[in-house]
Structure 1
Amino acid sequence: MILKLQEIQKNQGETIRFIVEEENHGILKEKIHALEEKLERQEKRIRLLESQIHDVRKEEQDSGIPVNDKNRQSSPPCNASETTSTRIRDVTSRTSMLQKRIPVALLSYTDAVNPAFYAYMSAAETAPSNHHILVFDVAQTDNGNHYNKFSGIYTVPQQGTYVFAYTVFCSTGAYLNVQAVLNSDVIDANHCNAQGADHGRSTTGVAVIRANQGDVVFLRTHPEGQLIGNVESSAIWSRSTFSGWKLD
């Protein structure tokens, strides 16, 4: 029995690693595409500013007076070269600042959206087995697209403190043990006991944890012990849900 459980755990671990690798690959491609578009916009802005510098210098050469003082008969005498040079320095300074901001924009792009997600099951999970990952297939909120509605796994996008919460409904007469897991560590555990009841019951758990970028969080049934009944859920009535968000 122990060897069988160890084999199941090993196979599930390999499956999780494969899913996470595939998910991270897709997210990385999307982020690279978005960053390339952002960089292209920044480069266009730089070219525009450089063109403005060129125009100012050309006007200085052609007229010998500042552009702002053209056709102003009442303007007091001024040093044309000094005024134009000041404008050139101002535009050049703004261009330089923009160039310096490009790497900052690239680095901060993934931090632009506060990581958070909320998902629920659209239908009941009938007689789940031990060590089974619960899949919440409707992602109503998913800032940053870090929750996988096909695998039920959330991939942590940034290091920090996170809150993870869940509610699981079970059918009449059911007894289900569930665990919230960070990588391979159980961070919360609970049970839904509807034995002897004339209707279903629910259980809710909350965990506040420190997590690193690339960590995975998911909800599963207990690896051992007898499980009785179904996980109940529907879009209209009682929803079994899984959610999380970053605190800092």
Structure 2
Amino acid sequence: MSVRTIFPFLFVCLLSELEAVAPQTRDQSQHLVEAVAAIDQKLTKMERQLIDKDVRIRNLETTLENHIAVHADYVKDTEKEMQMKNLELNRLQQLVTSLTETANSFKQTLSETSSESRELASRMSVLEQAIFADGVNAKERDGQSMASSDIRNEETSDKSVRINASNAEPVQMAGPVHKAGPVRKDATFSNSESTEVPSEASVVQIRRPSLMRAVPSSSIVAFHYELSNSVTVRTGSVVVYDHETLDEGHGYSPHNGIYTVPVAGIYVMVWDTFANFRSYIQTFLVVNGTKRGTSFSDAQATHDLVSSLVVLRLQQGDRVVIQVGRTSDTNATMSSYGSFTAKPTFSGWKLF
């Protein structure tokens, strides 16, 4: 075959092949378009879901930030409250330590005072016995001296009298008649009606009152009163503790709250103040109108039972009271709770 014949033949074959392949290519193109459209739909849906997720994440972040801010404020408030409680605890610990040291000091002082009192009582007993013995001996010596003097005077004035030794009857020579008898050691011949020397017991009874007035009193002076119920107080008022648990010396009056000092000396005065919750009360220890001690119960954050102690010298008849100072309200409440075993009290005792 010639070249001219081959080329047309090949061209016809190629056309026939192309005609056979074209329908298949159109089908594949259609499938590709549909696949691309489905992928686009899925991508669009995924984009929408991502946008929704971003919105939710932003909402969660905002909510979390708000919670963090609220909790941060709460944490700050809690930390401040804990700091205040720690400060209050440290103050209470220091107060307890101070009270413990003071109590130990007073115990030591009381022990020394007791030993000194025992030693003084022993010395006074010895001195009392010595004074009694000296008084009796002096009285006996005076009686004997007076008896000897009277006997000499009697012998001088009655020279005219002779005594019968057998019957002791007087014989009248000249002058008055006298009855003579044995001379007793305890007799005194004077012009007084009683011629006997006082006995030892009578001397003791005579001298003891004057001696006992010189001996310091060893009686105990102490008192302790409680506030049985909560009461309303105001500035300037006197706290009246109405429940007595001890009153040696009978100096405190539960009617007007005044303690009248029965014996002069060095005294210890202690009082407890318990302000109602969310309030404060200041109190003073007042002696004859003069402030000698102070206390401050601050219960605005927590319950606060405050004890105060004063050591001072008091004279007999001094008037001691617990007076209210500044308060959180015009009429504040001084609490007394039996369930807390916390009661306002007023106590005192004489050291020496």
Rounded to whole Å, the distance in 2 between the matches of 1:109 and 1:132 is 40
* 2:299 is aligned with 1:194: yes
* 2:225 is aligned with 1:122: no
Q: Aligned partner of 2:257: which letter?
A: G
* 2:160 is aligned with 1:160: no
Rounded to whole Å, the distance in 2 between the matches of 1:170 and 1:109 is 45
Rounded to whole Å, the distance in 2 between the matches of 1:221 and 1:117 is 21
Rounded to whole Å, the distance in 2 between the matches of 1:108 and 1:172 is 53
Rounded to whole Å, the distance in 2 between the matches of 1:94 and 1:205 is 52
* 2:207 is aligned with 1:100: yes
Counterpart for residue 179 of structure 1: 284
Rounded to whole Å, the distance in 1 between the matches of 2:345 and 2:216 is 26
> Cα gap change, 1:172/1:179 in structure 2, threshold over 3 Å: closer, same or farther?
same
Q: Could you say what secondary structure the match of 1:220 adopts?
A: strand
Q: Could you say what secondary structure the match of 1:123 adopts?
A: coil
TM superposition shift of 1:162: 0.5
Structure 1, residues 133-155: CA drift from partner, whole Å, max 9, x if none? 00110111101211111111110
> Cα gap change, 1:108/1:115 in structure 2, threshold over 3 Å: closer, same or farther?
farther
TM superposition shift of 1:111: 3.3
Kept in 2, the 8 Å contact 1:155–1:216? The answer is yes
Q: Could you say what secondary structure the match of 1:97 adopts?
A: helix
Structure 1, residues 105-151: CA drift from partner, whole Å, max 9, x if none? 5x48993521110000110112x111010011011110121111111
Counterpart for residue 237 of structure 2: 132
Kept in 2, the 8 Å contact 1:192–1:202? The answer is yes
Q: Could you say what secondary structure the match of 1:239 adopts?
A: coil
Of 138-147 and 231-240, deviating more is 231-240
Q: Aligned partner of 1:94: which letter?
A: A
Q: Aligned partner of 1:232: which letter?
A: S
Rounded to whole Å, the distance in 2 between the matches of 1:147 and 1:217 is 9
Within 5 A, what are the aligned runs for 1:214-229? 214-222=317-325, 224=326, 226-227=328-329, 229=332
TM superposition shift of 1:184: 1.0
Structure 1 or 2, whichever has the larger Rg, is 2
Identity of aligned residues (%): 24
* 2:345 is aligned with 1:232: no
Kept in 2, the 8 Å contact 1:116–1:246? The answer is yes
Counterpart for residue 205 of structure 1: 308
Kept in 1, the 8 Å contact 2:279–2:298? The answer is yes
Structure 1 unaligned segments of length 5 or more: list them.
1-78
Structure 1, residues 68-104: CA drift from partner, whole Å, max 9, x if none? xxxxxxxxxxx9955x87xx86x71221111221345
Q: Aligned partner of 1:204: which letter?
A: S
Q: Aligned partner of 1:97: which letter?
A: V
Aligned length: 161
Q: Could you say what secondary structure the match of 1:95 adopts?
A: helix
TM superposition shift of 1:225: 5.9
Kept in 2, the 8 Å contact 1:181–1:220? The answer is yes
TM superposition shift of 1:160: 1.1
TM superposition shift of 1:230: 1.3
The answer to which structure has the higher strand fraction is 1
Counterpart for residue 141 of structure 1: 246
> Cα gap change, 1:108/1:134 in structure 2, threshold over 3 Å: closer, same or farther?
farther
Q: Could you say what secondary structure the match of 1:205 adopts?
A: strand
RMSD: 2.7
Q: Aligned partner of 2:267: which letter?
A: Y
Structure 2 unaligned segments of length 5 or more: list them.
1-181, 188-195
TM-score, with length taken from structure 2: 0.42
Q: Could you say what secondary structure the match of 1:210 adopts?
A: strand
Runs of 4+ residues deviating >6 angstroms: none
Bigger relative contact order, structure 1 or 2 (CA pairs below 8 A, ≥6 apart) = 1
TM-score, with length taken from structure 1: 0.58
Rounded to whole Å, the distance in 2 between the matches of 1:149 and 1:203 is 22
